[in-house]
Amino acid sequence: MVIGEHRPAEIIIDETALYHNIHTEQQRLSAGTEMFMVVKANGYGHGAVQVAKVARAAGATGFCVAILDEALELRRAGFVTEPILVLGITSISCLPLILKYNITVTVSSIEWLKQAIRQLSDKQLTNQLRFFLALDTGMGRIGLQTKETVKQFSMCWQAAQTKLDFQGVYTHFATADESDAGYFEQQQQRFATLMSALPKRPRYVSVANSATSLWHQTVEANLVRFGIAGYGLNPAGTLRKAPFQLQPALSFTSELVFVKQVQPGTSIGYGATYTTPKTEWIGTLPVGYADGVDRRLQGFHVIVAGQFCQIVGRVCMDQLMIRLPQKMPIGTPVTLVGTEANLTITLDDVANYCHTINYEVACGYSARLPRFYQA
């Protein structure tokens, strides 16, 4: 995708904030517990490679991604020795690529493991396949669900140990960000039950995502998969306070590119959903829903010259309009997310207005917006 390098709109990532969040959590971990930084979805919209560099400096010893291509991006960017775990299901046809780049994959079914063993034998591949076993304790996505299937997995793995490097096992909690711990505790018990079917523990046992790491004490685990909180965003949004001060790393800025005065009764934008009740100054920004500015943000606000200015009319694909308090010069800076003067707009503010979560807003900012990094 083309990056808008010649347009006044950009995402700014504060590396100091990233480091603070990751290092602070790393310092809270018990002795012997490692952290893998989750940099899937282009680092939750922050830029995977640059986030990985900061995370490594802050104490992360490995990384988690969602798909194989994200793992390959890190390897090709110079992360040649760190473990990189693909959390999603990877096609068995990619096995030669997985082995070439020493990627750790997720095993979620006995059949996938059997296919991998057959390919490792048939093609005379010499490298061991690194993998984590996924256990579904109540998330309902991927993974083994019963003690019987875990026992079948163990027999399959043990019969082909020379070809396989069983590095770890993990599960994912569905409600770790909620104050009611009932379902969380059920999942913990299911995990313990499934783990009891393994003949021995692998090197890594992981039950903690960001929410689990922030708010729950877990036993028998030694690996945290640190995601959204590393970017300074609360997994619970505004519903629950984090145990330390998270520092949001992402800001989104633009400029006024067009300013006009319009008369009463002038309609703005598609569908004529806003009509001026009086003479007004209207400013145009060169960003829209193709950049990840949610179309539901009509009626929300941005910050211009230390004042909140309302978004009027529907957000267009590449532009949006705002109501200005008075005439302002073209080139006036505009903050869509971040702090200007004494005013702040957070990703949670945007998410709450759109009835979604901060994850979706951050991940939604498209590659057309250039990312700039500041220490």
Question: Cα dihedral angle (196, 197, 200, 206), rounded to 10 degrees?
Answer: -60
Give the separation between CA 55 and CA 17, rounded to whole angstroms.
11
* 317 annotated among ligand-binding-site residues: yes
Give the separation between CA 120 and CA 164, rounded to whole angstroms.
9
Active site annotation includes 204: no
Catalytic residue among 123, 260, 270, 327: 270
- Looking at the DSSP bridge assignments, the partners of residue 104 are 85
| Residue 112 near residue 92, CB atoms below 8 Å | yes
**3-class SS at 250?**
strand
Which tokens hold the place of 39? 């940099």
Active site annotation includes 40: yes
Catalytic residue among 40, 231, 359, 365: 40
Which tokens hold the place of 166? 């069983």
Give the separation between CA 120 and CA 95, rounded to whole angstroms.
8
| Residue 57 near residue 19, CB atoms below 8 Å | yes
Which tokens hold the place of 92? 């068995």
Supply the residues annotated as catalytic.
40, 270
Task: List binding-site positions.
Answer: 141, 317
Task: List binding-site positions for substrate.
Answer: 141, 317
